Structure 1
Amino acid sequence: MKRESLRFIAYGLVSLATLTGFKSIDPPAKKKYNVLFIAVDDLNNDLGCYGNTFVQSPNIDRLAKRGVKFDRAYTQYPLCSPSRSSLLTGYRPDKTGIYELQTHFRKNLPDVVTLPQLFKNNAYFSARIGKIFHYGVPAQIGTDGLDDPISWNQVINPKGRDKVEESKIKNLTPGRPLGSALCYYEAEGTDDEQTDGLIANEAVRLLEQKKDEPFFLAVGFFRPHTPYVAPKKYFDQYPLDKIPLPKEQANDLDDIPEAALFTKPPHWGLGEAERREAQRAYYATISFMDAQVGKLLDALDHLKLSDNTIIVLWSDHGYNVGQHGQWMKQSLFENSARVPLLISVPGGVTGKASGRTVELVDLYPTLADLCSLPAPVDLAGKSLTPLLKNPNASWAKPAYSQVLRNKIFGRSVRTERWRYTEWDEGKAGVELYDHQTDPDEFTNLSGKPEHAGTVKELAALLHKGATLATEKVKSE
């Protein structure tokens, strides 16, 4: 065939492609990742995927099989608002200045770009349903709480039957208000009548509406935060006489600094029968919340969004259910500082666990990295992307947690083996626990001469972390 004929045929094909809009010559642009950002209030690691075979959490366990489970993830502050302010701004509590439940972080950081705001600023649809920034629970359910309006394109504040029926709640610690009491209610009716059920349904509705555009959807469940309210069927999963109370040791508190204790007297004076009631109710609300997570996972699969959606599930802090006589949060023991953290990336590693020490403050740079967004350069955390590719990758970063107690700070550093804690820079006590031999933190080794070298090394590591945080604040 002559060269002129070939040229004519080629010209005709190009012209046809132009007329029909066919563009096979150029590869299609890669779709942006969506992000489903699931926050759970007051959830500890009592989950099947974390080794608790008593608690029924099939949907969170299902999520663990879809991604990477972080076995040593830690909050920066074991209290709702300080933790959430830290995670969502990407800065440690000493920079946000949030140590309690009333102050909004923008009072101290008026120009900060939050994690959801970063997505909103980069052409994502950013939406909040339920509790992401701090809410008082149960008082502020159905309101905006301490929300940050500039972070979202849309917000939804469901209020369910649990809020309406608060008068039916049984309070085992009547001297404490519902939001910080051991109290519960075995509710009548269905999941869909409860606030968390409504939250899940609204999230599914938004997924259906926004499936064809990039989204950052933050879904914040209130349970298992007290009051422990869930439909009765979830309580029925946990026979009262089968509740596995945590191990206790005689004289356990003898080597623990007084400042380390939040619950005084131990168990707030409750006997074993009442403690079983409270722990059963906590577990029932975990299973109820887990069922709502299942709705979200099912919707992603049904809408064919799973192949392009990053899923993150996290809790703002852990939760004591009687360890060392302590309940709830606001302590620096493992059960209070450690959190569940699951991340699923489309096409990434599945069903693996990472034993590296990571922090909630790492989530901001991680999601920015995965979605190729320009994060602030001074974020406190580190992208977890290397661990999402190889959960056992080399990683030398420790985890820092802190709490303010009676005008003094407790500060703790966690490595893969050790937890080291100082109260009021050591003047009000020091703790050292070897998690290799003592995962329940029963033996404080800080005063043992044979561990003096470890104390010195970890004290330097702790002070280095505190100094870096303080220097960043002073440089602003």
Structure 2
Amino acid sequence: MKRFSPFLSSILLAFAAAMLLTSPSIAETTEKKNVLIFFIDDLRPELGCYGADYIKSPSIDSLANEGVLFERAYCQQALCAPSRISMMSGQYPDSTGICDLFTPLRRVNKTAMTMPLYFKQNGYTTASFGKVYHHLRDDKANWSEVPQPPSENYANPETLQAIAQRTKQAKDQGVSVKEMRLAAKGPATEIYEVDDEGYRDGVVAKQAIESLRNNKDNPFFMCVGFAKPHLPFAAPKRYWDLYQRDQFTVPSRELPKDTPRVAITIWGELRSYLGIPDEGELSDEKTKELMHGYAASVSFADAQVGKVMDELDRLGLREDTIVVLWGDHGYKLGDYGLWCKHTNLELDARVPMIISAPGHAVGQRSQALVEVVDLFPTVASMATGEVPESCDGRSLEPVLENPNKEFRPFALSQYPRGAVMGYSMRTDRWRYTEWIKASTKEVTVRELYDHQETQTPTVNLANAPEYAGLVSRLSKQLNAAAKIEASKVKMPK
């Protein structure tokens, strides 16, 4: 290896030292970008900007026109708590060890790097409004602001009074926690003539707007979580009035042929609401009512996004702010005769994702396969120039610069079902799933769906002889990518 003379070496060292003394640091030369992330609960990628013209979503559509819309983004698990924890940590559920609804992150990992911790360490004001983590005050030590949102899911005083009475009766009877939660639920839909602030999400938007005003002169990392369109489908009447009941078409209730029982659910989440049968299908009338309520709730949430974005513009902060909007998982609205989430099906794993960042592509769409774990490294990289080593995901900056760029060969999701874990891989055309025993790593059943033409394929091809070679190849890819090891898979108790 070529060596410099001692004299020349001393000159080079002196020059380097002078440069360090006279040159500003990266932190000094790079102006910090604000970060604003919208969390939307149970939102299907079924919006105007995603081609669903019948859905009124002007605010989200406008945001899509200001950034990059990802056509094929996937969550890591179609369940609120683990999906949000994966997003906030940039890690897969097998890395966080959380794949159930009831475990807050900080209960099992006190030191995990998360977005609020990362941005707090980088000098940001960190603020959380509404439903960000499923457990609302999770990570509380790392939030500068985390006000408790109102708990009411309904606005009608009669509904609230009835729920309060049932809850009191259940408490007096000493029922279980589960029964108590059921007592606190009312009907699955509500139409009530009230201002937006009469419902929880309206108050959350107001809180976020006030925080923007207070922190406009400081770099901020702000998460704003809107609960709608999560059940109950309750929204001010004017949002219901945007739609006509007869415009909704009941989807086919037929399951894909040869789909295994473990792949689907009995949609107990919806069945816990008043007016929903304990078993069996819903009537066409009830299905249309719920579809109507869901659409109204989407438009209600969209209006709250618009309020916050309008304030960002009014304060002159838009050009200095990275804005992200995502849904924590997809949702079934009677598709296959099923409801809610809780599966590895395409309808549940695929999510809406929009990123609008200063200096990056505007009004573009990307077909790249991306994952929710990619959001943390993306915003960290754009805001500070660094990505925490703990992140499993990868920065999407190359795609934000060139939306036509390929990113991943496939996207991974997973869902637990008792003693087995379903690992699912979405390629350009196929969704391949293996249900694996945690104790033995034995594959109990497989699924293979062709998504070249549809989001709702009608047959599981995994056992068809003509697809045996494809199944073998996808299986090797899935296992290599997921690094499935029984000792690392922590199943919910």
Same fold flag (TM > 0.5): yes
| 1:249-398 map, 5 Å | 249=254, 252-263=255-266, 268-398=280-410
1:141 is aligned to none
The counterpart of 1:185, out of the listed 186, 190, 206, is 190
What percentage of aligned pairs have identical amino acids? 41
2:71 is aligned to 71
Q: Quote the offset at 1:90 in angstroms.
A: 1.5
Provide the C-alpha distance between the structure 1 equivalents of 2:307 and 2:129, rounded to a whole number of angstroms.
14
The counterpart of 1:241, out of the listed 246, 263, 267, is 246
Instruction: Output the amino acid matched with 1:450.
Output: E
1:466 is aligned to 482
1:138 is aligned to none
Secondary structure of 2:217's match? coil
Structure 1 residues 471, 367: CA separation in 2 closer, same or farther (over 3 Å shift)? farther
Provide the C-alpha distance between the structure 1 equivalents of 2:419 and 2:485, rounded to a whole number of angstroms.
19
Structure 1 residues 166, 318: CA separation in 2 closer, same or farther (over 3 Å shift)? farther
- Report whether the alignment pairs 1:149 with 2:149: no
Instruction: Output the amino acid matched with 1:149.
Output: K
Q: Which moved more, 1:162-171 or 1:313-322?
A: 162-171
Task: Give the gaps of 5 or more residues in structure 2.
Answer: 1-27, 164-178, 269-277
Provide the C-alpha distance between the structure 2 equivalents of 1:370 and 1:324, rounded to a whole number of angstroms.
41
Provide the C-alpha distance between the structure 2 equivalents of 1:262 and 1:162, rounded to a whole number of angstroms.
25
Structure 1 residues 211, 267: CA separation in 2 closer, same or farther (over 3 Å shift)? farther
Provide the C-alpha distance between the structure 2 equivalents of 1:179 and 1:286, rounded to a whole number of angstroms.
23
The answer to whether the 8 A contact 2:155-2:194 is kept is: no
CA-to-aligned-CA distance 1:62-87 (integer Å, 9 cap, x gap): 10000000111011010000111111
Task: Give the gaps of 5 or more residues in structure 1.
Answer: 1-27, 136-144
Structure 1 residues 246, 256: CA separation in 2 closer, same or farther (over 3 Å shift)? same
Provide the C-alpha distance between the structure 2 equivalents of 1:352 and 1:385, rounded to a whole number of angstroms.
14
2:170 is aligned to none
Provide the C-alpha distance between the structure 1 equivalents of 2:194 and 2:92, rounded to a whole number of angstroms.
42
1:12 is aligned to none
The answer to whether the 8 A contact 2:256-2:459 is kept is: no
Provide the C-alpha distance between the structure 2 equivalents of 1:306 and 1:449, rounded to a whole number of angstroms.
55
Instruction: Output the amino acid matched with 1:147.
Output: D
| 1:140-219 map, 5 Å | 145-159=136-150, 162-163=153-154, 165=156, 168=159, 177=182, 183-219=188-224
Provide the C-alpha distance between the structure 1 equivalents of 2:321 and 2:416, rounded to a whole number of angstroms.
37
Structure 1 residues 439, 319: CA separation in 2 closer, same or farther (over 3 Å shift)? closer
Q: Which moved more, 1:260-269 or 1:226-235?
A: 260-269
Secondary structure of 2:483's match? helix
Q: Quote the offset at 1:462 in angstroms.
A: 1.2
The answer to whether the 8 A contact 1:181-1:226 is kept is: no
Structure 1 residues 422, 106: CA separation in 2 closer, same or farther (over 3 Å shift)? same
The answer to whether the 8 A contact 2:430-2:448 is kept is: yes
Structure 1 residues 161, 430: CA separation in 2 closer, same or farther (over 3 Å shift)? closer
Q: Quote the offset at 1:167 in angstroms.
A: 5.5
Structure 1 residues 347, 182: CA separation in 2 closer, same or farther (over 3 Å shift)? farther
1:47 is aligned to 47
Provide the C-alpha distance between the structure 2 equivalents of 1:176 and 1:185, rounded to a whole number of angstroms.
19
Structure 1 residues 208, 264: CA separation in 2 closer, same or farther (over 3 Å shift)? closer
Structure 1 residues 149, 363: CA separation in 2 closer, same or farther (over 3 Å shift)? same
Instruction: Output the amino acid matched with 1:57.
Output: S
1:61 is aligned to 61
Count of matched residue pairs: 434
Instruction: Output the amino acid matched with 1:236.
Output: D
Provide the C-alpha distance between the structure 1 equivalents of 2:216 and 2:196, rounded to a whole number of angstroms.
25
CA-to-aligned-CA distance 1:336-391 (integer Å, 9 cap, x gap): 11100000001311111111111101111111111125432131111111000011
1:105 is aligned to 105
Provide the C-alpha distance between the structure 1 equivalents of 2:238 and 2:52, rounded to a whole number of angstroms.
20
Instruction: Output the amino acid matched with 2:473.
Output: E
Query: Normalised by the size of structure 2, how large is the TM-score?
Result: 0.82
CA-to-aligned-CA distance 1:286-312 (integer Å, 9 cap, x gap): 000000001111111111111110000
Secondary structure of 1:317's match? coil
CA-to-aligned-CA distance 1:424-458 (integer Å, 9 cap, x gap): 36744211111113431212111222222211111
Q: Which moved more, 1:302-311 or 1:458-467?
A: 458-467
The answer to whether the 8 A contact 1:365-1:379 is kept is: yes
The counterpart of 1:225, out of the listed 230, 238, 250, is 230
Q: Which moved more, 1:399-408 or 1:356-365?
A: 399-408
The answer to whether the 8 A contact 1:118-1:375 is kept is: no
Structure 1 residues 189, 264: CA separation in 2 closer, same or farther (over 3 Å shift)? closer
Q: What's the Cα RMSD here?
A: 2.7
Secondary structure of 1:371's match? helix
Query: Normalised by the size of structure 1, how large is the TM-score?
Result: 0.85
Provide the C-alpha distance between the structure 1 equivalents of 2:373 and 2:80, rounded to a whole number of angstroms.
14
CA-to-aligned-CA distance 1:183-225 (integer Å, 9 cap, x gap): 0111221112221111111111111111111100111111111
Structure 1 residues 166, 78: CA separation in 2 closer, same or farther (over 3 Å shift)? farther
| 1:80-159 map, 5 Å | 80-135=80-135, 145-159=136-150
Structure 1 residues 409, 49: CA separation in 2 closer, same or farther (over 3 Å shift)? same
| 1:12-51 map, 5 Å | 29-51=29-51
